[in-house]
């Protein structure tokens, strides 16, 4: 990635809506400049769509995440849908639903995320992670993204949803195209086709669960009622779609990013390996450091202000977690990768009413990985070309060839 020092006059030359901006450029100077000089910045109109607001400071993001009265999600919660006039899943999918219906849908999904269900899946995560790590350590060489990280979160969320094991590879392939791409030449049409295939898949599975319910999330969605009425087909399918995307991407990209960071910050790897830092504390720093979800979006319900900036009603407001998690006002020495950092109140999972349902599982998955590599691995080295994903919503690595030396 290239880096350059920006001036205030050059802020408008950066196009945050272009996926190439995030995969080819180091934006640290851009975010520092915004936080200090333009914390509520109106991003200009581009070929990707109309103008939108950019929030970069931790305190501003926290305030907007908490406020679902002035800032709503039902008009879209990611940049792509906001720039294209809204989200067709509004009012049906939890992430883009507000008010009473949001609370009702969340209550249904929380039944599926019961402590009993999560504990059962968490044990499977720890077992699967150890097996995957043990296998690649025995080989000595691997593409960590493909051979380890691709399987753990997808297997976890599929187990919770009730997706058959033989379908997981198919869903992973679609997932990696729906909101991001390993290929810079991929088009918006490719992403739409991937999303539609995921929706069609869950439509068929939901039909099965109505007549043959099991102990899984899809069965809960297919058999629960709200105000005496069953959830619609769209509500069931769209919430499965949301869970499969969210349940895979954050953990997978954080795991890959952690292993790459260990090769760049060997003193941090040694601290973890030698037991000088707790896995729980290290997990939070991995989540802050990676921040795989670059932003979330809202729309101003009516004319309002953030800081001293007036935002007109109906305009898109984007909350850039990747900047807030590096805010000097919230994190001492924020550009240091410090596995012992505490407190660490990052915004990787958002905050407030729309706080990520899968946060517990993501922490279990990353923690299981850190525990396994700490136990089995002595040294980590990059052994080939590292490739990044292409997206204006997610950030991370798609290919990470490693040499892993086993602990004696």
Residues 291 and 402: beta-carbon distance below 8 Å: no
Neighbour count for residue 227 (Cβ, 10 Å): 7
pLDDT for res 3: 43
Closest by CA to 285, choosing from 354, 331, 350, is 331
Per-residue pLDDT of the chain (408 residues; tens, 9 = 90+): 444 578 998 999 999 999 999 999 999 999 999 999 999 999 999 999 999 999 999 999 999 999 999 999 999 999 999 999 999 999 999 999 999 999 999 999 998 887 777 888 899 999 999 999 999 999 999 999 999 999 999 889 888 888 888 998 888 788 777 766 676 666 778 888 888 888 899 999 989 998 899 888 999 999 999 999 999 989 998 898 888 888 888 899 999 999 999 999 999 999 999 999 999 999 999 999 999 999 999 999 999 999 999 999 999 999 999 999 999 999 999 999 999 999 999 999 999 999 999 999 999 999 999 999 999 999 999 999 999 999 999 999 999 999 999 998
pLDDT for res 184: 66
**Interatomic CA distance for residues 70 and 314, integer angstroms:** 10
- What does residue 281 show for φ and ψ, rounded to 5 degrees? -70, -40
Q: Is 352 left (phi over 0), alpha (psi -120 to 50) or beta?
A: left
Residues 190 and 177: beta-carbon distance below 8 Å: yes
Whether residue 343 has a cis bond before it, omega within 30° of 0: yes
Helix (H) / strand (E) containing 41: strand 40-43
- As a dihedral over the C-alpha atoms of residue 35, residue 321, residue 79, residue 397, rounded to 10 degrees, the angle is 120
Query: What 3-state DSSP class applies to 403?
Result: strand
**Interatomic CA distance for residues 215 and 226, integer angstroms:** 19
Burial class for 267, CB neighbours closer than 10 Å (0-12, 13-18, 19+) = exposed
pLDDT for res 100: 96
The DSSP code for 145 is: I
Question: Which residues are CB-contacts of 282 (< 8 A; sequence separation ≥ 6)?
Answer: 272, 339, 340, 370
Query: For 141-256, where are the E strands, in sequence order?
Result: 141-143, 225-226, 229-230
Burial class for 77, CB neighbours closer than 10 Å (0-12, 13-18, 19+) = buried
Output the pTM of the full model.
0.93
* 8-406 maps to CATH 1.10.630.10: yes
pLDDT for res 111: 86
Query: What 3-state DSSP class applies to 298?
Result: strand
All structural domains of the chain with their residue ranges: 8-406
Closest by CA to 309, choosing from 30, 10, 57, is 57
pLDDT for res 168: 84
pLDDT for res 146: 95
Question: Which residues are CB-contacts of 353 (< 8 A; sequence separation ≥ 6)?
Answer: 66, 68, 102, 103, 106
Residues 194 and 220: beta-carbon distance below 8 Å: no
Instruction: Give the residues across from 390 on adjacent strands.
Output: 181
pLDDT for res 2: 45
* Residue linked to tokens 């941090």: 268
């Amino acid at each position: 990635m290239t880096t350059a020092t920006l001036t205030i006059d050059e802020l408008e030359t950066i196009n945050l809506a272009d996926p190439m901006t995030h995969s080819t450029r180091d934006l640290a100077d851009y975010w520092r400049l915004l936080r200090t000089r333009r914390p509520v910045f109106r991003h200009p109109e581009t070929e990707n769509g109309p103008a939108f607001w950019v929030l970069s400071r931790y305190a501003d993001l926290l305030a907007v995440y908490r406020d679902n009265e002035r800032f709503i999600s039902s008009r879209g919660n990611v940049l792509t849908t906001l720039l294209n006039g809204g989200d067709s899943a509004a009012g049906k999918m939890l992430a883009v639903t507000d008010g009473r219906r949001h609370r009702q849908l969340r209550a249904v999904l929380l039944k599926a995320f019961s402590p009993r269900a999560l504990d059962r899946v968490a044990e499977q995560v720890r077992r699967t992670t150890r097996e995957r790590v043990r296998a690649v350590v025995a080989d000595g060489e691997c593409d960590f993204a493909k051979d380890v990280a691709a399987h753990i979160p997808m297997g976890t969320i599929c187990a919770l949803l009730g997706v058959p094991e033989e379908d997981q590879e198919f869903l992973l392939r679609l997932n990696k195209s729906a909101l991001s791409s390993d290929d810079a030449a991929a088009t918006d049409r490719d992403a739409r086709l991937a999303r539609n295939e995921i929706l069609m898949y869950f439509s068929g599975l939901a039909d099965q669960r109505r007549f043959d319910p099991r102990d899984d999330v899809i069965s809960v969605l297919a058999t629960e009622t709200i105000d005496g009425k069953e959830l619609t087909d769209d509500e069931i399918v769209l919430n499965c779609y949301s869970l499969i995307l969210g349940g895979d991407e954050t953990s997978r990209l954080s795991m890959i990013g952690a292993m790459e960071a260990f090769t760049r910050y060997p003193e941090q790897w040694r601290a973890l390996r030698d037991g000088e830092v707790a896995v729980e504390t290290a997990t939070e720093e991995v989540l802050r450091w990676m921040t795989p979800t670059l932003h979330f979006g809202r729309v101003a319900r009516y004319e309002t202000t953030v800081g001293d900036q007036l935002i007109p009603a109906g305009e898109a407001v984007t909350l850039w977690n990747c900047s807030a998690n590096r805010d000097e006002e919230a994190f001492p020495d924020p550009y240091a990768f410090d596995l012992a950092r505490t407190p660490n109140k990052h915004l990787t999972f958002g905050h407030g009413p729309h706080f990520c349902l899968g946060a517990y599982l993501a922490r279990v998955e990353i923690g299981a990985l850190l525990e396994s590599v700490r136990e089995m691995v002595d040294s980590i080295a990059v052994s080939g070309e590292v490739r990044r994903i292409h997206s204006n919503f997610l950030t991370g690595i798609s290919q990470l060839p490693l040499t892993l030396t086993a602990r004696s």
